[in-house]
Every structure is written in C-alpha cells, then in structure tokens.
Amino acid sequence: MVRLLLGRLAGLVAVLVAISVMVFVIFNVIPGGDPALRLAGRHPTQQNIRQIRHDWGFDQPLYTQYFDMMNHLFIERDLISYQDQTPVLPAIRRGIPRTLSLAIGAALIWMIFGITIGVLSGLYQGRWLDRVLTVVALAGVSIPIFWLGAVLLYLLTYKYHSWPVFSWIPPGGYVPFTQDPAGWATHLFLPWITLAVVSIGFYARVVRNSLLDTRHQDYVRTAKAKGLSPSRVLVRHTLRTCLIPVVTLFGLDFGAVVGGTVILIEPIFGLEGVGQYAQESVAHLDLPPLMALTLYGAFFVVFFNMLADLTYLWLDPRSRTT
Amino acid sequence: MIDAPPVAAGGFRTALRRLRRNPAAIVSAIVLLMIVFACFPGAPLWVSHACNHGPSDQNIQGTITENGHKVPVVRNDGTPIGPGLRACYLLGADSNGRDLFVRILYGGRISLEVGFISAIVCVTVALVLGILSAYAGGVTDSAISRLLDLIWSFPVYLLAVALATAFAVHGIAVGPIHVASTSLAIPIVVIAIVYVPYVARPIRGQVLSLRRMEFIEAAVASGAGPVKIMLAELLPNVASMALVFLTLIVATNILTEAALSFLGVGVPLLTPSWGNIIEQGYQTIVTAPWLTIAPGLAIMITVVSLNVLGDALRDALDPHARLRIRN
Amino acid sequence: MRRILISVAVLLLAVSAGCGSGSSSSAGSAGAPVDGGTLRGAIPDNPDHLDTGISFAVEGWELLEATNNGLLTFKKAGGGQQSVIEPDIATAMPVVTDNGRTYTFQVRKNVMFSPPVNRAVRPSDFQYAIERLFHVGSPGVGFYTNIVGADAYAAHHASHISGIVANDKTGTIAFHLVKPDGAFLDDMAIPFAFAVPTGMPYKDISTDPQWRVATGPYMVKTYTPKQQIVLVRNPNFHQWTAASPKGHVNEVDITIGTTPEQAVNETIDGQLDWYMEAVPPDRFTALRAQYPKQTFLFPRNNVTYFSMNTRKPPFDKLAVRQAVNYAIDRNALVKIFGGQGIPSETVLPPGFGSSYQEHHLYPHDLAKAKQLIQQAGATGASVQIWTTNADPAPKAAEYLASALSQIGLNVTGVKAVDDSVYWDTLLTQSGDPQIAFNHFDQDFPEGEDFIDTTLNGEHIVNVGNNDVSNTDDPTLNAMIDRTKLMPLGAARNAQWAKIDAYFMQHDAGWAPFLHLEQATFVSPRLHGLIFTGSYFELIPEMWLSKQ
C-alpha cells in the first residue's frame, strides 16, 4: 500500500513537471505574445524594449527562463504577472476559497439530488418515472454550462428581478463566508445550481445502473432471504455497494470541476475565483499566472483521481488482491 | 472502469432490436434527423423560398414593414429587432442586422460538422493508440499511456484554450501542410486532441482483457501477424464501444465547440456556429436576449438527443459500460 | 468572453473634451457643493499602476489626478476648456527663450509631500521624476527624448539629463530641448512629469505605502490589489491657488472587481455612487430613460478607424484606400457601437477646439467604391481583417468584411486577437496586417499627439510602430514637422485641421468612422461630476448630498 502510494505521488510530480514544460513551450512559440512589448507600453523606444528584455530575463536561453520561473513560483514564491505586474500567488490564494465554496456547495447539491433520483429511477426501473427521470437527467448534462449561467442570471436578476421570489438573488459577485454567511449563500446560489444541474443527471444514471447491478447479486438475495425488511436491505446492503463507483467518479469529477469547469462558470457570475483568474490569464497570454494555475488545476485533477483510486481500494476489498 | 464483455458477432442485431423498443431512442433519432435536415438541405431552401437573406447578409440600415409601419432592423441605439411571426427575422436580428434564424440554421452546419469530424478524429486516434498500446505492451504501452496521462491531467479548457491560442496567431505549419489561422480545422483538431485520453484509456483496458482470451491466442498460434490481429480480431471487438463513444463524444464536442467559441478561441468570426452566435449575442443579453437564448436551445436539443441516443445505444450494446466526459 | 471596448481603455488614454457643450460634461446642479462623506466607488479590475512614472491608462491617471501634481496641468474644468494648460505647482506659465528651445519654470515653495516624506516639493524632484522614467522601463520615456541629454542618459552615459537644470535654492527648473516643440507644455502636464520625492526607488511603488506619496488633496491610504483602494485626505495639503481643487468628500472607497453589470445593479440599489468604467451599452438606453438625471454621455478625445497598411497590397494603392472610405456607412458603424459616438471621417476629435474641422470627402457610396476598386485593378484581391476581440470591435470588423465583399474584394477572414496582445501586435511590422480595427485615445489634448504619433512617416520603426498604416508622405511629414515647431494656439490648430484634411484626401491610410463617447451612470446623491479629456471624472470635484 505504501509503495503504491509513493509510486502514485512520484507519478503526480512527474506529470506536473511535464505539464509545466508543455505550457512553457506552448507559450514561448506563440508569436505576438512578446511580453516585453506589452511591458513597454504605447511609445516604446528600442532602448526601452532592450532594457525590459534584459530586466525580465527574456534574453536568457529558454531553459534558464524556465528554471527561473519555477524558482519564482516554488522557492522564492514571488512570481509576478506580465499583464499588470501583480504578484500571482496572493491572487490565487484569494481565489481558492471562492472556487472551493462554489465547487463544494455544488457537489453537495448534485450528490444529494443525483443519488435520490438515481435510487428512485432504479427502484422503478422500466416504468414511466424511470424514463422521465432518465431524459430529465440527460437534459441536464446536455446544457452548455456557461449558457445556463448566463440565461439564469439574465432571467432571475434582470428580467424577473422584481418578482418577490427572485428579488433576493444578487447579480453576481462574492461575499466571504466569514463576513456574511447569508450573503455568501445567496451570492453562490445561482452558481451552485448551474454547476449542479449539469452533473445531477450523470450521477443519477450511475447510481441507477449500479443499483440494478447490485440488486441481483448473491448477498443481497441472502439478506432478503434472511427476512430483512426491503428498506433495510436497500440501505444496509444495496446502497453501500452501489455507491462505490459513485465515490470513484466523484473524485474524478471534483478534480475536473475545481481544475477546469470553473473557468466557464466563474466569469459569468463574477466570482473572481481561480477559474476566472485562469480565464483572464489565458486570454491575456499571461504566462506566469497561467503556469501557476495550470499546475494548480492539474494537481487537483491528478490528486483527486489518486484519492478516488485509493478510496476505491479501501471500499471494495475484492480489488485489493488484484 | 470499463469491464464490459466483448460483444458477440450477433451483438449489433440484438442491439438494434433493443433500440427499436426504446421510445426515447426513437424520438431522439427522429429529432436528430430533423435537425440535420433543417441545417443541411433546409437552410438554403429557407433562404431561397422564405426569406432571401443569407447568413452573412447584413442590414443595419434596413427597415422592414410590420402592420403597415416601417420598423428599423437595428435601432439607432444598436438594439436589433426581436422575434416575430414573419418570414424574415423570424427569431429577430443581431447587431449587424443579420437574420438570426438563418444564422442558426447555417451555424448548425458548422457546429455539427465540428462536433462530428472532431469526434471521428478523436475516436480514430484513440482506437489506434488504445489498441497499439495494449497489444504492443512494453515501452510502446508506457510511452502512449504516459502521453495520455499527460493530456488527461491537463485541465480540459486550459489545454484547449492554450492550443487554440497557439495555433490561432499564425496557423499550424507542419512540414508542407499549412492550415490558415482562420481555418475550421483548428477548433476541430484542438477538440479532438483534448478528448483522446477519455476514449483511448477504456479501449486500452478492453483490449488488455481481450488479449487474454482464447480466440486471440488461437489467432497468434495460427501465425497471424500483429497488424492482422489488431485489424481483424481486436478492432471488431472494440467497435461497439467505439460506436457508443462516438455518439457521446459528438455530443460533448458540440458543447466544447460552444465553450471554446464562448471563450473566444473556437470557430473564427464570419463563420456562424452556435457557439459564436451565443458569444456575440451574450454581449447584448439585456437588450436582445433572443440572440443568446435561441442558439443555446438549439445546442441543448441537439445534445440531449445525442445523449439519449448514446445512452440507449450503450444500454443496448454494452449495458455495463460507464462512460462520461465532463463538459 | 470579451471585454467591452467602450469601457476598457488599457494602453490607450482618453482625455476628456468638453466639446463646447458645458452642460453635458458637468453634472449635478443641486446647489452649492457640500463637504464630507464617503464616496463609494468601484472599478472592474486593478488600475494599471498607482505610480506616476509607470501608469499609462485612464484608471491610473484618474486616481493620480486626485493625489499628485505636476508643474502644469490641464484646466480642471468641464466644457471646452480642458485642453487649456495652466500652471499647477509652477507659479506661472514657463518663460520660453532660445527660440522655443528653453522652458524655465518657477516652482512654488509651499507645496508639501504627504507623510511619511513631509517636506516641501523642490525643483530637483521634477528632474528626478523624469530621470526615474528611464530606470523603471516607463512607457512615458518617449515624451521626453527631445530634452537635451536624454539619449545619453538613457544609454547610461551620463549621471543626469544635462538638459534639465534644477536649482533648489532659487526654486527654478529649466528644460533645454533639442528642437522647439509647442507640445512640450502638454508633456509637462501629464503624470509622467509629476513631482516625486528624490530617492524614490527605481521600481513600481503602487503597493508601497512608504513611497506612494501625494501632493494633492487626497492620498492613497491603502491599495490591496483585487480588493480595494482607499483615498483619504492628505493632511499636508492646503489649497495653493483658488483654482486648485481642495476635494469635497472625506474618503473615497473603491472596490476592485465589480463588473459593469453588477455596478449598474448596485447603483440602482443605492449601494454604489460611482463606477470608474462605462455602463454596458446594452443597458444604457433603458437607464437613460429611467434615470435621466443620473446618466451622462461624455465626449471623449479619441478616434476609431480602420487602418490600412500602405505597404501591403491591395492597400498600397490610394484608390483602394479611398474606396474603403466610400464603402463604409459611418452611421451603421455608430449603431454597432450602441449609438454612443459621433460619426466622423476626421482624424482629430471634436474636443480639440479649432483643430477639429469637419470634412465630407467620403459620403457612403458603394457604386463609386466598386468603380475605384476596378480602376485600381484590385477586384478579387484577398484581404484578411484583424480586430481586437473586445466587443463591439469584432462586429465592426464583420461589418467591414461585408462592405469590402460588396465592392469586389475577396475577404478571406476576420481574425480576432485578445485585446491584451492585439495592440502590441499591430505596432510591430511583422504583425501589421493588411487592414485592422484601430483606435487612438489621446495622451494629451493636442493635434500633435494624434497626427505626429500616428501619421508622420519619419517615425516608422519595426517594433513599437504607432504609424500602423505606414503612411509616409514627404509632403505630409514636412507639414507635420513645421507645425510641431509652432507655439500652441489658433494658428497651430488651423494647421492641424489642414493636415487632417490633406491626409484623408491624398493618403487616406485610415478609414476613420467615429469618436466614441463615455456612458456614465451614478447614484442620485453624487454631484459635481466634471469630465475632462485627460482625467475623466475629476474626483476632487465630486460631492455627496446629505441624506
């Protein structure tokens, strides 16, 4: 187990190094993204541009620039953006609670609804409820997430803002939990819903299929034969087993959300988390924050994947032998 | 994660029978056919018979007559005319005075093409890599697997935007092949690359389990070469899986096209796609919400149909497979 | 996701222009100004810098106007007077000698730096400010290379700029120029020339409270990037003339990170007084109808145009460039900009007083345009259009694409580049496309800024090339060079107007189409809104009515 864990950790580091090199290379071959020109402003002199190239180390060989950037990112921890020359790490630190607030809240909603709908679907397999829930679930997965956010925002905070049911919904922005818990929740309400809607359907499907698989397995039959009540069988035996794939998937998904999907959703709601920072940096071809944020995103993807695998091992004793 | 048994030779016929009994699958297939019809032969028919406005015909200073009044297509403050029951501007106009309905029809062509072609590229590359990796094993396997890991760990949108931006400035130049920066090939290639690992990994897993099976060993024993085994024995056995993936990947890719266009690195300007119609319309969502809502609904209906069909296909072909890609 | 061009003016400075209509640029006639209160402001993102030596964007200058001062200033008044230059820390306008090559200023003795510096401003502080520009990679160095010895200083061959002679005992400072230049007065009125205490580090001091020193009525108390900027009264400030504003509100709290949509909603809900960016164009019409007393459309000094690269076919032919001018319907383009602009075919904006003379050389005429293209033998020539991705520029570029197709050119594509790299790319010869969406905001309100910077062929370089059209007409160059030597005033203005018309008729490297306006929406309690070309809304003039 320890060996496995160490192996996985080494893999994680290797992937992050490879990704950082990839990002660095991609952004150094893009023409037109010369940061020296951007720093020089509107009336640059040749002298000025040369000076900036030298001061920022753009005249160094690429590998030196790469190590220099890694040094500023991980050791000196004082990486500066090209776009507005502000420090990168404080900006990320400021974004993390926002992004996690969004992702954790949405994950709670999609897990609760996903499992409930999935179980209902499974229990009524093949009947109309199952079919309707299936289509509704798939409809959720099929909505462009940024579009859903934009349309909800338009409808509820502008068009029908005067309706008392919606008037409490603020038009985007973020309030820290420590400052005003109620404001925190109301500001995150629409983003949570938006993010959850696109995931509920998928989880419902997984739970449903998994439930159908487990219901016919031996130990469930045994439990039934022993005369346990159907609800007890469902909760004690069936649900526990059928949630194993859900946990695995959740790990993958949560990593993917925190490391990626937030890029599409945060700018719509002006949440200013790491996703919005990433979206802005990539649009500005601003390498320093982009490097930090890509590594951050990749870390979440890989780390949660690893966590999911380990949880799977722990939850499902059968897989330990293989 | 995918532990499906290989589909037997008669699998496709059984699957088709199962599909025919699934009303949701039939409805979604019909809806898809209707959308494809509307976008491909339908779009020029509409332009030639109902309203003579092409998808790029601008008419900012024009007027139309409604209830005997002359109404400007775009008002002086830039607000375009909204939806109404009329031949021209059925769904309203955009800021450049173009007919939104016609643009959605033509935009659908691009979105479907990008989704479909990139899905084929993606699944083909994934099949090659997955089968090669699992069958060859050893160094080839680890090299391919690490490459897939790498692409897969890269947050999807960051990777897509980075690649698209890198290609967008001066196009792609690989040897003699040069792709212009405003070419559709760029979003197609980018979207295809991004999802390769999601397909290649399960295929590799499937092939690994197939390799241990008797019929492969028998083929090896009978002296069949590796290429023949991969093409004649392995490929048909992962085909059903690839087909399920193809349907779902087309759906995902249509969403990804929209997202990339929304982030400003998707389908280039002048060519309407559902994604960039939303992107432009979103700037004026308050005064002209139809420009955002209508193309989004088009995407949603198409993708729901593809997902329902893909889901039914999966149930019919391979009930145990769990496939999904986060959009 | 795009940013909206109308509201974001990164790299490009807009200075106000009264445009003769005083009523439109000063707002709030709710009686005499009241002192006190906290103004609640917001801004979508960090201002570029809060360092006078480095800041080169509207948001930075808007704040620095409230906190810092130079020898001269643009008149801090609404209406058509904003291009008038007045003494600020100088006691009077400079004495000009040596045939316009020497400017000598007398510096006020009683202007104090804020804590922690707490001393009077000296002439050497102005010299230090300009020398510091060369050490901090300032985008402003280009304004001061005409000073004798600046080149040697830039090349590290001198310990000081020899052409700046500061005498702290007599309180004078003299600037010796290589060539006479009437617009040197403008160069002395922009923040790059503002006083900074000698010894200020050669780095960006935006977030360094030790060196973020003020001379004006306010000082920056705190600046936390991505969070907040707080301006409070400068305890060392006292009004040195009746004309220098003393500030009305006690504090200005600016929240960073408010989107334009949020700002509108917060203003309606009474949580916000003032937003430093423009209102989203799609909301302005409705707001204007509902809150007529809180909405303003201020004229800005800028020009939006399509620049044609005269070095690349088919735009190397004058007839083709003229055809483009005939092909575009400027009123249609104004609609794309939400109606927030004045259709125009001049280079200089209406706010530039008498140097703005309307000309009507190119009425919208597709047939004429098509005919010109045919005569030039350019029918079917391939053209790729470039544009920034900031809305609504891509829509304008698409409009251009349609117009060019109609006159017989073959448009192969419209390429949208992110706003943050677009402008740098245009300014390099290697990135300079055939035809591009382009925009120029003033640095200072004088014809030289627009015309010499963007049309004088003598300034063409490979990198940092502001003459994007590569216009290089010897006659035009000579006219510009002659005019630059003239002192500011009516004669000089008339000359700029003549050059404007000459360029459009004989070179036509641009197809100008509009001068953008700034849409503003404020709370009902905010008064004293004065919009100037150089600093936008003047913070020290703002006051809040008592609730």
pLDDT above 90 for C368? yes
- Exposure on the CB side of residue B188, measured as CA atoms within 13 A: 20
User: What's the distance, CA B264 to chain centroid?
Assistant: 18
Quote the radius of gyration of chain C (alpha carbons, Å): 23
- Are B270 and C414 inside 8 Å of each other by CB? yes
Listed range (A120-134, A145-159, C165-179, C530-544) with the worst mean pLDDT: A120-134
Angle at A303 between CA A299 and CA A309, to 5 degrees: 155
Which CATH number fits the domain that encloses residue B148?
1.10.3720.10
> What average pLDDT does range C144-169 have in this prediction?
92
Q: Pick the residue of B269, B273, B292 with the most C CBs within 10 A to test the interface with C by mutation.
A: B269
Burial A203-234 (b: 16+ CB within 10 A, else e): bbbbbbbbbbbbbeeeebeebeeeeeeeeebb
Average confidence score pLDDT of chain C = 89
Specify if B194 maps to a domain.
yes
pLDDT above 60 for C347? yes
- Please give the model's pTM, rounded to 2 decimal places: 0.87
Peptide bond into A317 cis (omega under 30): no
Provide the residue ranges of all domains of chain A, joining segments of one domain with +.
2-88, 91-321
The pLDDT of residue C79 is: 61
Count structural domains, chain B. Answer: 1
Q: pLDDT above 70 covers what percent of chain A?
A: 87
Q: Which residue on chain A is closest to C463 by alpha carbon?
A: A46
- Give the CATH architecture of domain A91-321: Orthogonal Bundle (1.10)
Kindly provide the residue ranges of all beta strands, DSSP E only, lying in C82-241, ordered along the sequence. Answer: 85-87, 95-97, 102-106, 164-167, 172-176, 218-224, 228-233
The pLDDT of residue C20 is: 31
Write the CA distances from A131 to A205, B311, C10, C190, integer angstroms.
Answer: 11, 12, 53, 69
The string of pLDDT tens digits covering residues A157-169 is 888 888 888 888 8
- Residue B238 and residue B202: Cα distance in Å, rounded? 10
Token pair in block for residue A223: 């439990």
Q: Which residue has the tokens 């799609």?
A: C282
Quote the radius of gyration of chain B (alpha carbons, Å): 23
The pLDDT of residue C25 is: 40
For residue C418, the distance in angstroms to the closest alpha carbon of chain A comes to 6
Q: Is C6 on the interface with B (CB under 8 A)?
A: no
Write the CA distances from C56 to B95, C11, C51, C116, C204, integer angstroms.
Answer: 32, 6, 9, 25, 13
CB neighbour list of residue B116: distance below 8 Å, 6 or more residues apart: B250, B253
Instruction: Report A:11-40 residues touching C (Cβ under 8 A).
Output: 31-34, 37-40
pLDDT bin (cut points 50, 70, 90) of residue C84 is confident
- Residue B279 and residue B276: Cα distance in Å, rounded? 5
Of residues A188 and B248, more confidently modeled: A188
- Are B58 and C418 inside 8 Å of each other by CB? no
Listed range (A211-215, C82-86, C481-485, C486-490) with the worst mean pLDDT: A211-215
Read off the amino acid at residue C8. V
Ramachandran angles phi, psi of C322, nearest 5°: -65, -35
From C51, C38, C76, C53, select the one nearest C254 (Cα to Cα).
Answer: C38
- Map residue C410 onto helix, strand or coil: strand
Read off the amino acid at residue C495. Q
Listed range (A27-31, B123-127, B128-132) with the worst mean pLDDT: A27-31
The pLDDT of residue B319 is: 54
Residues in chain A within 8 Å Cβ distance of B258 = 144, 146-147
Residues in chain A within 8 Å Cβ distance of C424 = 32, 34, 37-38
- Residue C329 and residue C364: Cα distance in Å, rounded? 5
pLDDT above 70 for B125? yes
pLDDT above 90 for B268? no
For residue B295, the distance in angstroms to the closest alpha carbon of chain C comes to 16
Residues in chain C within 8 Å Cβ distance of A170 = 265
Q: pLDDT above 90 covers what percent of chain C?
A: 67
The string of pLDDT tens digits covering residues C499-511 is 999 999 999 999 9
> To the nearest 5 percent, what fractions of chain C are helix, strand and coil?
30, 25, 50
pLDDT above 70 for C518? yes
pLDDT bin (cut points 50, 70, 90) of residue B174 is low
> What average pLDDT does range C152-173 have in this prediction?
93
For residue B222, the distance in angstroms to the closest alpha carbon of chain A comes to 31
DSSP B10-35: THHHHHHHHHHT-HHHHHHHHHHHHH
Instruction: Report B:164-193 residues touching A (Cβ under 8 A).
Output: 165-166, 169-170
Specify if B90 maps to a domain.
no
Q: Which residue has the tokens 């069909």?
A: B309
Q: Which residue on chain A is closest to C152 by alpha carbon?
A: A47
Q: Is the dihedral of CA B161, B164, B166, B169 positive or negative?
A: negative
Q: Is B264 on the interface with A (CB under 8 A)?
A: yes
The pLDDT of residue A141 is: 85
> What average pLDDT does range C25-52 have in this prediction?
82
pLDDT above 80 for B189? yes
Of residues A33 and B68, more confidently modeled: B68
pLDDT above 60 for A320? no
Write the CA distances from C22 to C4, C18, C82, C354, C533, integer angstroms.
Answer: 27, 6, 11, 17, 13
For residue A179, the distance in angstroms to the closest alpha carbon of chain B comes to 31
Range of the domain at B16: 12-55+103-324
Token pair in block for residue C160: 């000081």
The pLDDT of residue A218 is: 61
Out of B149, B289, B299, closest to residue A144 by CB:
B299
Specify if B16 maps to a domain.
yes
For residue B157, the distance in angstroms to the closest alpha carbon of chain A comes to 6
Average confidence score pLDDT of chain A = 81
Specify if B198 maps to a domain.
yes
Ramachandran angles phi, psi of B252, nearest 5°: -60, -40
ipTM of the complex model: 0.88
The pLDDT of residue C80 is: 62
From B246, B254, B245, select the one nearest B274 (Cα to Cα).
Answer: B254
- Residue A66 and residue B283: Cα distance in Å, rounded? 38
Q: Is the dihedral of CA C389, C393, C397, C402 positive or negative?
A: positive
The pLDDT of residue B327 is: 43
pLDDT bin (cut points 50, 70, 90) of residue A30 is low
The string of pLDDT tens digits covering residues C483-498 is 999 999 899 999 999 9
> SS3 for chain A, per residue?
CHHHHHHHHHHHHHHHHHHHHHHHHHHHHCCCCCHHHHHHCCCCCHHHHHHHHHHCCCCCCHHHHHHHHHHHHHHCCCCECCCCCCEHHHHHHHHHHHHHHHHHHHHHHHHHHHHHHHHHHHHCCCCHHHHHHHHHHHHHHCCCHHHHHHHHHHHHHHHCCCCCCCCCCCCCCCCCCCCCHHHHHHHHHHHHHHHHHHHHHHHHHHHHHHHHHHHCCHHHHHHHHCCCCHHHHHHHHHHHHHCHHHHHHHHHHHHHHHHHHHHHHHHHHCCCCHHHHHHHHHHCCCHHHHHHHHHHHHHHHHHHHHHHHHHHHHHCHHHHCC
Token pair in block for residue B312: 């039914």
Specify if B107 maps to a domain.
yes
- Residue B250 and residue B305: Cα distance in Å, rounded? 11
Containing H/E element for C319? helix C318-327
- Residue C518 and residue C78: Cα distance in Å, rounded? 14
The pLDDT of residue C7 is: 38
Residues in chain B within 8 Å Cβ distance of A15 = 149-150, 153
Q: Which chains touch A (3 or more CB pairs under 8 A)?
A: B, C
- Residue B62 and residue B59: Cα distance in Å, rounded? 5
The pLDDT of residue A125 is: 77
The pLDDT of residue C14 is: 30
Chain B residue set in contact with C, beta carbons under 8 Å: 56-58, 60-61, 74-79, 95-96, 165, 168-169, 180-182, 262-264, 268-270, 279-280, 283-288
pLDDT above 80 for C397? yes
The string of pLDDT tens digits covering residues A239-282 is 777 777 777 778 777 877 887 788 889 988 888 899 989 888 88
The pLDDT of residue C8 is: 35
Out of A26, A150, A198, closest to residue B285 by CB:
A150
